Amino acid sequence: MSRTFSKTKKITTMGLLFALAMVLSFVENTIVPFFGLPPGVKLGLSNIVVMYCMVYMGGGSATQLALLKGFFGFLTRGATGGFLATMGGLFSVMIMFILKKLFGDKINYYTLSIFGSLFHNIGQLTGASLIFGSAFAMYYLPVLAGSAIVMGFVTGAILKVVIPALKRIG
């Protein structure tokens, strides 16, 4: 279902998607403290944009967007935050790409989102393990995996609802 874009249209669309992802990330960081969630648990609103990018523009564009989000994390949260954001984003895009290749258009947004969320957390914990030089961070996986299923379902539902508006962007 990936579309063919002219170079100019792709650049402008990617710019809009990146801006939208950053706005959603900002909004999420503003409202998450009110939910009293455990450390590391987030809604993943900006990942809705990455999922759209994966479905409608392909794995290469989704990877570029994940890298841009990681760079933004570096600028706003420092080297560690940027590294963890990049690791999470790349793991997430990787599993969504694999699932899209295996199942094509038969895969639904919920499945993509849940697996993307789960692998985002695995990527971040892998990054933390690399930083600490120990797999100790992986002990937190059960907490993050449970939240990944719930939050992945929520972001999948949001994507399904907003996809008509996002289609107009691209």
Alpha helices in the chain (DSSP H): 7-31, 46-57, 59-103, 109-132, 141-169
Confidence (pLDDT) at 166:
67
* pLDDT at res. 170: 54
Q: Walk along the chain (170 residues) in steps of 10 and give the mean pLDDT of each run.
A: 72 92 89 78 89 91 95 92 95 96 93 96 96 92 93 93 75
Q: Measuring CA to CA, which residue among 38, 33, 163 is closest to residue 108?
A: 163
For residue 146, what pLDDT is reported? 92
Joined together, the tokens standing for residue 148 give 């990944």
At residue 165, the pLDDT reads 77
Beta carbons within 10 angstroms of residue 126's beta carbon: 18
pLDDT score for 106: 93
